[in-house]
């Protein structure tokens, strides 16, 4: 099972996340997020990771940007994947290309079915990210996602489960949902954008101990 540690803002935390066992690192380009990272900072971090030959997937997290702008950021920072966490249309998702996957925040089964009808999944994992629903907010809320909805989707496609996960509850989430991977930000922080090494290790260890 994959672990994504998201909202990284500095090289030290990125290296610590990899040391803890993270498979994917997320960098948030949404200016309103407390975990926002400037383009130049992300460039330096990813360049250093590449120079050290770190085996990790890098993910740009975007909210309501045009596809051309997302692709420019991805190319500039040498990112592997694009996570679209806003209100992007299916056309924007398609225009961003095969490296993009959509973050969904369904409040109920009807919304989930509507999302699935509109947004084509990636042909490779992850197909989608499932996050908690909170009106007007685009993730990073600390609210737990609807695990029953996530479980129904995880049976059909490889998903990343996000939303309120932390070292205490991620084992239960893994057992109940059986996702392709789990995504954490605030649950392993000392303050927004600043990670806690001990919490990151505890989170990854809890996932590994409960893999199917």
Catalytic residue positions?
A: 6, 131
- CA–CA dist 10, 145 (Å, integer): 27
Q: What tokens does 166 get?
A: 């932390």
CA nearest 167: which of 145, 194, 189, 150?
Answer: 189
CA nearest 151: which of 180, 188, 125?
Answer: 180
> What is the secondary structure of the chain as a DSSP string?
-EEEE----SHHHHHHHHHHT-SEEEEE--TTSTTB--HHHHHHHHHHHHHTT---EEEEEESS--HHHHHHHHHHHT-SEEEE-SS--HHHHHHH-TTEEEEE--SSHHHHHHHHHHSPPPSSS-SEEE----TT--S-S-PPP-HHHHHHHHTTS-EEE-SS--TTTHHHHHHHH--SEEEESGGGEEETTEE-HHHHHHHHHHHHHT--
């Amino acid at each position: 099972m994959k672990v994504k540690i998201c909202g990284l803002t500095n090289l030290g935390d990125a290296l610590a996340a990899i040391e803890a066992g993270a498979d994917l690192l997320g960098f948030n380009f949404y200016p309103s997020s407390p975990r926002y990272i400037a383009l130049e900072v992300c460039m330096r971090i990813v360049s250093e990771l590449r120079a050290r030959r770190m085996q990790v997937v890098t993910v740009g997290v975007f909210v309501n940007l045009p596809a051309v702008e997302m692709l420019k950021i991805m190319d500039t920072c040498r990112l592997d994947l694009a996570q679209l966490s806003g209100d992007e249309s299916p056309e924007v998702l398609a225009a961003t290309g095969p490296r993009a996957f959509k973050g969904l925040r369904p409040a109920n089964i009807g919304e989930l079915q509507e999302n699935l009808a509109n947004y084509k999944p990636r042909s490779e994992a992850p197909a989608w990210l499932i996050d908690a629903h909170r009106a007007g907010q685009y993730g990073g809320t600390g609210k737990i996602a609807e695990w029953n909805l996530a479980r129904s989707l995880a049976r059909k496609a490889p998903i990343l489960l996000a939303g309120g996960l932390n070292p205490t509850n991620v084992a239960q989430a893994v057992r109940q949902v059986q996702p392709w991977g789990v995504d954490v930000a605030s649950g392993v922080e000392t303050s927004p954008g600043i990670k806690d090494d001990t919490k990151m290790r505890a989170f990854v260890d809890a996932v590994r101990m409960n893999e199917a």
